Amino acid sequence: MNTPTSAAPADSTAVVESPSRLAPSATVEEHEAYGRSLRLTVSLESHAQLPVAVDRPSPVDLLEEQSASRVPDLVPIRYGRMLVSPFTFYRGAARIMASDLAATPRTGLEVQVCGDAHLSNFGLFATPERRLVFDVNDFDETLPGPWEWDVKRLITSLVIAAQDNDYSNKQIRKIALNGAATYRRTMTDFAQMRNVDVWYAHLDLDDFQEQIDAQLDPKRRKALARGFAKARTRDSMQALSKLTALHNGQRRFIDDPPLIVRMDELLTPDERQIFRDRYRSMFDGYLRSLQSDLRLLLDRYRFADMARKVVGVGSVGTRCWVALLLGRDQNDPLFLQIKEAQPSVLAEFLRPSVFDNEGERVVTGQRRIQEASDMFLGWLRAQGADGLERDFYFRQLKDWKFSLDIASLRPKGMVAYARACAWALARGHARTGDRIAIAAYLGDTDTFDHALLDFAKSYAGLNARDHLVLTDAVSSGRITAVTGV
């Protein structure tokens, strides 16, 4: 069995990355022994540490650097959304936290990380077999990396969201500990499964609803059931009536600036012609990233219209388009979201992506982590009207998607939601990393759980201070924020 070569003390704050890798022929017992041996260099208690350098970069500096490559007129919307609360700030601060996590202890056990595993990046969506499942649903920052980073971002998000909801300290503690314990126990469960059974594992609507319902009173259970039923109506037909209208007999997006702006309003006549000339070759590039049967399906649709759309918090300012495709007639729509894929915020602190196209990085990471992914996932490199080439990934805009309103959750509901998120995250990590070694490292005590609680409480305080720094930057006029959008 390979063993770590580092001899750092158990309470060291240094990053420990073992170059060791177990051979494919290693036994279960060797994986377990390796995982337990890592506690000698990175103790479970050490995950409570949050080293903050004296020369820690200003959060506003990091945000401004990130904004340099984004659409200038949309960046103030991003800042405005981050201003709303410490939790909305946290949603947009993935790069800031990545910078901070780079100084924290880690075992060297890598998985395919989500990269931005806060609790609002989980939700229900439809599989190609038309089942509603609960899973991670945002992969813009995905890379192979430390499993600890995803778990710390998730547990910290639970603490910050609970604080925003004015829960008591006792309630916050219970939520965070439940999230961490669920991750640890789920990883132990997966470590005992056959490889293929880990890939079959899923949390469907009934499983998710059962977990949440157990913590809700009858009135809230009924409201949640109505929300789940409504999720099945959130499809292309709903988007057709909500986002488009007939104009001279043709389907067109309804302008709702700055959130939705038709492409024709953003391009000059010459640029529109350039787009039309290039459209077929660009779309063919996307089709080449799909399976042959899906290429056959999409060949039966024609392009109808396109618009720029503002989405999320952290993504605001990246180029995001929605395309309307029509099939047999004007009542046979397919909406595709075409989202710019920039380098992961983690790449600055980890190895760069092995993929030449950042869109392929996102799609590959999503397929590795999710139990079932959107069948229209694909990627493309395209040249914009400014002559610059950018990477994009494609997915359906509307496909039975549903997310819980975090602000409306009661503490018991948040506990159940924390467990569901932690289960889904553990399953993604178990699929893509050494689940047996991770489970053995975590062990069967609550030492890791309490370390994560301490880390999350410390980081929540740091995040609150960063939120105030952004608020001051807006008040002083250093940056411009647009609120209420």
Instruction: Give the model confidence (pLDDT) of 7-49 as tens digits.
Output: 333 333 333 333 346 887 899 999 999 999 999 999 999 999 9
- Residue 83 pLDDT exceeds 50: yes
What's the whole-number mean pLDDT along residues 326-340?
Answer: 94
Which carries the bigger pLDDT value, residue 24 or residue 478?
Answer: 478
Instruction: Give the model confidence (pLDDT) of 148-159 as tens digits.
Output: 999 999 999 999
Q: What is the reported pLDDT for 318? A: 95
Q: What is the reported pLDDT for 399? A: 65
Instruction: Give the model confidence (pLDDT) of 397-428 as tens digits.
Output: 876 677 778 888 889 989 999 999 999 999 99
Q: What is the reported pLDDT for 447? A: 98
- Residue 279 pLDDT exceeds 80: yes
Distance CA 82, CA 467 (A): 8
Q: What is the reported pLDDT for 209? A: 74
Which carries the bigger pLDDT value, residue 5 or residue 296?
Answer: 296
Q: What is the reported pLDDT for 5? A: 32
Distance CA 104, CA 125 (A): 34
Distance CA 481, CA 75 (A): 8
Q: What is the reported pLDDT for 70? A: 96
Mean pLDDT of the chain: 90
Using H for helix, E for strand and C for coil, what is the string for 49-81? Answer: CCCCCCCCCCHHHHHHHHHCCCCCCCHHHHHHH
**Residue 461 in tokens:** 């305080």
Task: Check whether the bond before 128 is cis (ω within 30° of 0).
Answer: no
**Do you know the residue count of the chain?**
485
Q: What is the reported pLDDT for 251? A: 94
pLDDT band at 218 (very low <50, low <70, confident <90, very high): confident
Q: Is the Cβ–Cβ distance between 118 and 385 less than 8 Å?
A: no
What's the whole-number mean pLDDT along residues 58-84?
Answer: 97
- Residue 236 pLDDT exceeds 50: yes
Q: Is the Cβ–Cβ distance between 51 and 31 less than 8 Å?
A: no
pLDDT band at 226 (very low <50, low <70, confident <90, very high): confident
Distance CA 71, CA 339 (A): 13
Taking alpha carbons only, the member of 305, 243, 249 closest to residue 272 is 305
The predicted model scores a pTM of: 0.92
Instruction: Give the model confidence (pLDDT) of 159-208 as tens digits.
Output: 999 999 999 999 999 999 999 999 999 999 999 999 999 999 988 777 77
Instruction: Give the model confidence (pLDDT) of 127-149 as tens digits.
Output: 777 778 889 999 999 999 999 99
Strand order in the sheet with 260-262: 260-262, 302-309, 320-326, 333-340, 389-396, 378-383
What's the whole-number mean pLDDT along residues 273-294?
Answer: 89
